[in-house]
Amino acid sequence: MAPLTVGHAAVDFTQGVLPALLPALVTRFSLSYAAAGGLVLAATAASSVTQPLFGRLADRREALWLLPFGVLLSGGGLALATVAPTYALVFLAVLTAGFGVAAYHPEASRVARSLAHARPGSGLSVFSVGGNAGVAAGPAVAGVVLALGGLDLAVVLGLPALLCAAWLWRLVPRLRADDADAASARGLEQGVDRPRALIALLVGVALRAYVYFGLLSFLPLYEERVRGRSDGYGALLLSALLFAGAIGTLAMGRLADRRSPRRLMAGAMLAAAPLVALYVADPGPLGAVAAVLAGAVVVATFGLSLQLAQDFLPSSAAQAAGLSIGLSVGLGGVASVAIGLLADQVGLGASLASCAGVALLAGVVAARLPDGRPPRGGAVRSSGAPVRSAP
């Protein structure tokens, strides 16, 4: 599990770095805000829309090569974006990095679930924390590098992913053997596909994306523009929120091995609603604690939704992961725009408060899902999906 988690951290590190590079890129190329937003859109679209396609590929045939390949593309694309001489080439480099992110996640999620067969909650939570750590570390490391040498030094930000890709390439034979051993231990047991349950889950994932990206994108701005605090305070509060989310992910994963993941996800989102509302209403320490706790419960559901998606589509575990993760990323960008437009009309506080109502709705949707672990039925596959060839 460690190589998959480290790879997850490396590939998501590149996602965390890009927003930190935008001010420097805007200065170098005299970009408009729309052009800068186009770079974020390119990375988001490439990393989300194509994930189900890479998942389909991984489910049809042995595709462990996607692990080093995806990390290589993400790191290489990021490095090229820092040295590209024109905006068009920066755009292509960012697009390449996004494709790398999309290539890695589905197959890595499938293998993580395979290796954690007896304890899927714990295994997938550890895997998810790797991504959380990578995204959180990206802006911090990029800020230090830019302060030391600007964009001329920023090319080194692609180095962690490139080194990780080389490491994963060497480990592919071992991962293939471990995956085959895990498949042999499972035998022919296979759950039944439940596409309606998966669709309902994805609705909940879309609602959660609104809440998560609303906090991620606008919490620092709310602290600075509305409450008059420094941007450093907002960044610190956001870091605490993400750190609490990593702890919550690990704790929730362990609980998911003994409790219903569906009930845990519903409870977490229902708890997030009053916490977000309290944060918006209280500018003092109580509100800050509520924001951190809201991050803990919202981020903690990412591993749960990944587990449920694979439970609902067991014949195509990689594609299920691509749908779950890709939808979270893709709709997150849409949610940020929607909340921003709402803030322009009714104010930033009211738009953030809307996240509380959406969290409540997400909890209701999760509560109405069926339980994630279906009855076992030999090798039956209700969807008629092709059987993945053995490694």
pLDDT digits (tens, 9 = 90+) for 282-332: 999 999 999 999 988 998 898 888 888 888 888 777 778 777 777 766 776
Question: How far apart, in whole angstroms, are the C-alpha atoms of residue 57 and residue 318?
Answer: 9
Phi, psi of 350 (to 5 degrees): -65, -35
Confidence band for 179, pLDDT divided at 50, 70 and 90: low
- Cβ proximity of 191 and 377 under 8 Å: yes
Question: How far apart, in whole angstroms, are the C-alpha atoms of residue 176 and residue 178?
Answer: 6
Q: Are residues 181 and 206 in the same domain?
A: no
Amino acid 183: pLDDT: 58
Q: Are residues 251 and 286 in the same domain?
A: yes
Q: What is the mean pLDDT of residues 43-71?
A: 81
- For 240-279, the pLDDT digits (tens) are 888 888 888 888 888 887 888 889 999 999 999 999 999 9
Q: Are residues 176 and 210 in the same domain?
A: no
Give start and end residues of each alpha helix (H) in the chain: 2-29, 33-49, 51-60, 66-83, 87-115, 120-153, 159-186, 195-221, 231-256, 261-281, 285-312, 317-346, 348-367
Confidence band for 192, pLDDT divided at 50, 70 and 90: confident
Q: Is residue 219 part of a domain?
A: yes
- Cβ proximity of 315 and 383 under 8 Å: yes
**Final residue of a domain: which of 124, 158, 186?**
186
Q: Are residues 74 and 181 in the same domain?
A: yes
- Cβ proximity of 68 and 172 under 8 Å: yes
CA angle 68-74-79, nearest 5°?
120
Q: Is residue 378 part of a domain?
A: no
Mean pLDDT over each residue of the chain, to the nearest integer = 81
**Measured on CA atoms in the order 364, 269, 204, 331, is the torsion positive or negative?**
positive
Question: How far apart, in whole angstroms, are the C-alpha atoms of residue 163 and residue 160?
Answer: 5
Confidence band for 50, pLDDT divided at 50, 70 and 90: confident
Confidence band for 382, pLDDT divided at 50, 70 and 90: very low
* Rounded percentage of the chain residues whose pLDDT exceeds 90: 22
Q: Are residues 119 and 221 in the same domain?
A: no
Q: Is residue 312 part of a domain?
A: yes
When divided into structural domains, the chain yields a total of: 2
Q: What is the mean pLDDT of residues 327-352?
A: 76
**Final residue of a domain: which of 169, 186, 203?**
186
Question: How far apart, in whole angstroms, are the C-alpha atoms of residue 302 and residue 208?
Answer: 9
Q: Is residue 96 part of a domain?
A: yes
Q: Is residue 251 part of a domain?
A: yes
- For 116-143, the pLDDT digits (tens) are 766 766 677 777 778 778 877 877 788 7
Amino acid 390: pLDDT: 37
Q: Which residues of 350-375 are buried (b: 16+ CB within 10 A; e: fewer)?
A: ebbbbbbebbbbbbebbeebbebebe
Q: How far is CA 189 from CA 181, 238, 301, 380, in A?
A: 14, 43, 27, 9
308's CB contacts (< 8 A; 6+ apart) are 201, 261, 262, 265, 369, 372
Q: Are residues 175 and 215 in the same domain?
A: no
User: Domain with 330 in it: what CATH number?
Assistant: 1.20.1250.20
Q: Are residues 249 and 341 in the same domain?
A: yes
Residue 368 reports pLDDT greater than 70: yes
For the chain, give the longest Cα–Cα distance: 61
Q: Is residue 385 part of a domain?
A: no
Give start and end residues of each alpha helix (H) in 84-194: 87-115, 120-153, 159-186
Amino acid 384: pLDDT: 38
Identify the domain containing residue 153 by its residue range. Answer: 2-186
Amino acid 352: pLDDT: 86
Residue 380 reports pLDDT greater than 50: no
Q: Is residue 255 part of a domain?
A: yes
Q: Is residue 321 part of a domain?
A: yes
Q: Are residues 124 and 165 in the same domain?
A: yes
Q: Are residues 206 and 163 in the same domain?
A: no
Confidence band for 114, pLDDT divided at 50, 70 and 90: confident
**Final residue of a domain: which of 186, 214, 243?**
186
Q: Are residues 180 and 204 in the same domain?
A: no
Q: What is the mean pLDDT of residues 48-74?
A: 82
Q: Are residues 221 and 342 in the same domain?
A: yes
Q: How far is CA 363 from CA 7, 269, 341, 355, 357, in A?
A: 31, 5, 25, 12, 10
Q: Are residues 352 and 287 in the same domain?
A: yes
